[in-house]
Structures are given as structure tokens and as C-alpha cells.
Structure 1
């Protein structure tokens, strides 16, 4: 199976889908458009994606064995973002974060405000002390929620002006992903966490479909819409007995994962992942010569964590492409995404 990476997986398909995913705004709770994109993509490949009441998507690939227990592979389509908290007297917007990020990572970022009636307005995230030419303490001004605001690219000078645009509290704000996909394989963009993993799962699905491979165990690809706020897959379908969360691998400090590796997480903030599953994944990566690293992520939680905390009776593991500067201006390499697809395929064929 060592030719999986170079010859069998459709790298162009994976990267084209990733570009379209990154271009589709999807902060937690605002995933309607991206889920329609995935539904259409599944249909192109000959599959149906069902939707849960919560808004998650599930694609079921029947296995050849009779009731050996279903494997769930989950990735999340939702991203960091924000919501309009209030309109300030000068027409600027105060916002509240969606997801856990440091405020300095969004300062200066372009954004879109999505109104309830479907209008979109461009804006820029700024400190409320915007210029060193005006405010002597601008450099030291603490970057926290109360000190940040969004400047709209509209002719507004008052709260009433902004309200006339149809903007109000509760409107969703999405960040400009600023995606760059370079010829040498480097990919830099916001929201590689976790759209790179979604692309990896569809790369797996395209491979299964094109090659006519049927897994021995029934497989469910599960795409969650609330992972960034902690409860994406708190509910797991009852037939699932093993789940692999496919989410980005963090880079830095004493971690060994790089932007070309598939990260295998042995433990995160929710505790250790299943020892047997993790051991099998490590052994398969070695056997198939797939670049990998094993790491511990104490500041991290996944959809597998949510499933376990939600009471799901499953074994769980966590893998994903290495991503630098997570929850900021992220970067990965195409190799890491393809390596993730390859390891998942190896796992399915081994079961």
C-alpha cells in the first residue's frame, strides 16, 4: 500500500475541494452553506449525506461483514468567528468571539458581517485605539474583547446609521481566510482547522468510490458543526463502536509533529485516547511508510472528546494533518493532508 500517497489518492481533488471549503464562511452555528456544499459533493461521488436535527452530516458506507460494529470518522466544518454583541454610538460594532482564540490574532483582519435577512457587509477588526499617531498608549492597549471593534466599510457615523443597514446583535461575523495554495505544496489560510481534515475525509471517500473498494466494517463519515464551541459530536450514532476524530495536529513547544506529518494524538485535555487504536495507527504508519508523529496536546479537545463526555460507549482515537499557528494564521502542507487520508485508508483496510 506504499503507493497510496503518490499514485492512488487524488491529490488534485483533495486540494480543489479544500479551496472551496476555505472560501465558504462557516463559523460555529452558521454552517448551512458549507453543509450544502458537502451534500452536493457527496452526491457527485454517488453518496447521500443525511442530516441530524443538530445539523451534522453523516455519509454511511456499508461494510461487507455482518454487524461487526461501525467505524466513525469525524471532522468538523465549523470554524472560529464572532457575533455582533452591540452597535456602538459611533456606528462601530462590538463583537463577541465564537471559539477560543487570542484577540491579537484577529486584529487587522478583514471580515464579513452576515445579517439575518441575508445581506453581507465588509469590515475590519481593529483595536479601539487604532493608531499610534492618535493614541499614545495604542501599542500597550490590551487586546481584549472590550477593547476591540469592527469598522464597517459603509458610510456610517452613528448607531442609527448601522441599524439602517439591517445589522444587529446576534449577526454572524466570519473572518477572511486569506487562503494561499502554493505550487510547492504549502497551504496557508485561516480555518485549516479543520477544513483540511474534511478534505482528507472526502479524499478517502473519492478513493473508495473510484477504486470500488468496500470496507469490511460499515463506515460513517461524520461532519460536525459545533466543534469549536465544544459539543460538535456529543451525540454519536448508536451503531458506532470506534471513532477516529480527524482534526489538526498542533505544532510547537515540545511537540514533534510537522506540517508534512499526520499527527497521532495519544492524549489531550480529555485524557488518553484508546491505547489499542492508537497503537494500531502507529504500527500502520510505520508499515506503510507514512510520515507521522505522536504527540500530547494538553490544551486541546476534539469531537472524540465530546462524544466520550456525551456518554457515547465508543473507543476513540485522534489523528490529523499537522497545522502550524493553530487558531491564528495557520499553515500546513498538502503532504500532511494526503498522509492523513492514507493512514485512514490503511486503518479501514486493516479492520
Structure 2
């Protein structure tokens, strides 16, 4: 990436990072996303972008293009992994049930927030039921399963009755502290970059469209979905005029993967099967023409809002791109270069015919 290219993106990157940090610091596990949706809604209003709210609580923004048919739709999800109170133990600690596909070892030792049905928030720490090496000789052998994980509340509570007196009950939502950091070297470290990084990028794209005043060739919808982590965020409210549906979600990194923390990752196949061949090839050509750093990859244990839309029966051409993100569903990290490459590929796509 050239120095000139980085410099030209600085102002937009500042906005994307500002939005990303704000989004990351709003708890929004699937099923409890009203606050973060309200935040995005207020940003749409500030930018002067028309939108609607669907019955599931997601947002659909629309920018009119030179042609009303066919139409395009892009989606990114604002819901995250999280948990829910499953049980209150006799000693006042909590047992959790997970929301979304994470493994319990990835949240061991994490600070968390418990939100009651009355809207009160309490803090705690997620631990195993044998956390002390000075007491439990073989603590490392304890399986990290739902049954063996607890929340230690930061309140004086010695019984289930004490905990219930705080207003905490079964069914209360639990969010993980994202611990957001943006480093001088350009890395963004946080939980829930999946998929708030993509939501921030889409906000940057929409802001750029509004400010540049250059009409898109086709009317385009932007769906901010709020149930992707549990499988049905973007599988509804797709106008019948939509032909191409592009999910913007993280690119997974690991052994055998081509994706890294600096690229825009273009998905060829995930657990749902291949993405549309011609659409994927066109995205690759657009990336090449724009001189972007990209990788084509396969995500073996992954599904997106685009694949959910196909399973729902929509007759669409579907694709998936996104910034490369390390340690997905754990302590995630990406780089500003990945944000830039993803932003510019979306920009190139939206202005292409």
C-alpha cells in the first residue's frame, strides 16, 4: 500500500475508527441489541440517510441510484456473542448459557456485565469453579464447559437469595468486556470485531456517498442485522428487486487460511457451500483494478447472512467479503489496512456496473 494511498484515506479512517470504538463499547449480544441499533439509527439520521426498522429490530438504510432495477443489498451485523443467566447457584454465583458459537475457554477470566430485566447493570468475572492453583491441584484438567464455568459477581452476595435481591434472575443477558485498544501501529484489539468492524466500514461508505454526492448506478440497501450470530439476521426484508446481496463480515485467519490481518478477504466457500462464482470473480477483478491487497479464502466453520438469505428461499446472487480478523470469537485483532482494503473494495463495487 502506497504512502499516498494511506494518506488519502486518513480522514475516512478516523471516522471509521471513531464509529468502531463507539460500537464496540455498546453491549449488544444477540437478543439484546436495542441500544446499539439506536446508536446506528442516530448516525443514519445525522447523515440524512433514509431507513426503516424491521420487526426483528434490524435497520435497513436505502440510497437511491440512477436505476431502480435491479437493486443491490449489503449487510453487516451488529449483534455479538454473549451469554444469559442459566442458573443462580446456592453460593450466589451464576451459571451461564452461551449465545453464539464461542468456546468457554475463550472467555475464562473475562470481565462481564449482567443486565437485569429492570435495566440495572452489575459487573462480574467469568471463572471456572476451581480457579485457584493454591487450592485445586489439578485445576488445569477441569473441562472448560458450561457446567464448570461461573460468574463471580462484584457484589456482596453469599446465597442465591442475596443475588436475587439484586434483581438478577434467569434469562438476564450477560455481555463480555470488549477491552478495546487502538495501537499506534494501526492494530485494533477487541472482542466483537466480528462484525462491528464491518458495520463501521459500512457507515464510512455511506458517509462517503453522501458527502461526495456521486450517484450510485443502482439503488442500494444497507441492512444492519441483529441476529446473525444465532443464524437468522439477514434472511428477511430483502426487496424483490434485489439481485446482488453482499454480506460484509470478518475474514477468518488460522492454519491453512490465506487471509491475514491486512487484507480484504473474499470468500469462495464456507460451511454453507460455494458463493456465487461470477460475483466472487467480479469482486476479485475490482480488487485488482483498484490495486487492493486481497485474498480469496475458504472458511470451513462459518456461515453468513448471505447464506442465511439463500436458505430462506431468496433468489439472489450472493457474496461475502470482509476485513481479515485474527482469533475470531475470542480476543480478536485486525489492522487499519484491512479496514481500508475492505472499504475501497465496497466503494469500487457500489460504483461499478
1:82 is paired with a residue whose SS is strand
1:10 is paired with a residue whose SS is helix
Of 260, 263, 269 in structure 2, the residue corresponding to residue 261 of structure 1 is 263
Matched with 1:240 is 242
Matched with 1:172 is 173
Stretch moving more, 264-273 or 232-241: 232-241
Matched with 1:82 is 83
CA offsets per residue over residues 137-170 of structure 1, 9 Å max, x none? 2111000001001000000000000000000010
Tell me the distance in 2 between the aligned counterparts of 1:216 and 1:276.
19
Please state how far the C-alpha of 1:48 moved relative to its aligned partner: 2.8
Matched with 1:328 is 330
Tell me the distance in 1 between the aligned counterparts of 2:228 and 2:86.
21
Which structure 2 segments of 5+ residues have no match?
none
Matched with 1:229 is 230
Which structure 1 segments of 5+ residues have no match?
none
Matched with 1:294 is 296
Question: Are the equivalent residues in 1 in contact too, given 2:89–2:160 (CA < 8 A)?
Answer: yes
What is the TM-score of this pair, normalised by structure 2?
Answer: 0.97
Is the counterpart of residue 100 in structure 1 residue 101 in structure 2?
Answer: yes
Of 339, 348, 351 in structure 2, the residue corresponding to residue 349 of structure 1 is 351
Matched with 2:190 is 189
What is the TM-score of this pair, normalised by structure 1?
Answer: 0.97
Is the counterpart of residue 212 in structure 1 residue 217 in structure 2?
Answer: no
Is the counterpart of residue 313 in structure 1 residue 294 in structure 2?
Answer: no
Tell me the distance in 2 between the aligned counterparts of 1:338 and 1:31.
27
Matched with 2:273 is 271
Tell me the distance in 2 between the aligned counterparts of 1:78 and 1:318.
18
CA offsets per residue over residues 186-227 of structure 1, 9 Å max, x none? 100000000000011011101101111210100001011000
Of 335, 338, 341 in structure 1, the residue corresponding to residue 340 of structure 2 is 338
Tell me the distance in 2 between the aligned counterparts of 1:129 and 1:234.
42
Tell me the distance in 2 between the aligned counterparts of 1:11 and 1:75.
18
Compared with structure 1, are the counterparts of its residues 247 and 270 closer, same or farther at alpha carbon in structure 2 (3 Å cutoff)? same
CA RMSD of aligned residues (A): 1.2
Tell me the distance in 2 between the aligned counterparts of 1:329 and 1:239.
39
Question: Are the equivalent residues in 1 in contact too, given 2:69–2:241 (CA < 8 A)?
Answer: no
- Aligned pairs (5 A) from 1:71-150: 71-150=72-151
2:349 is paired with a residue whose SS is helix
Aligned residues: 349
Matched with 2:47 is 45
Tell me the distance in 2 between the aligned counterparts of 1:334 and 1:233.
26
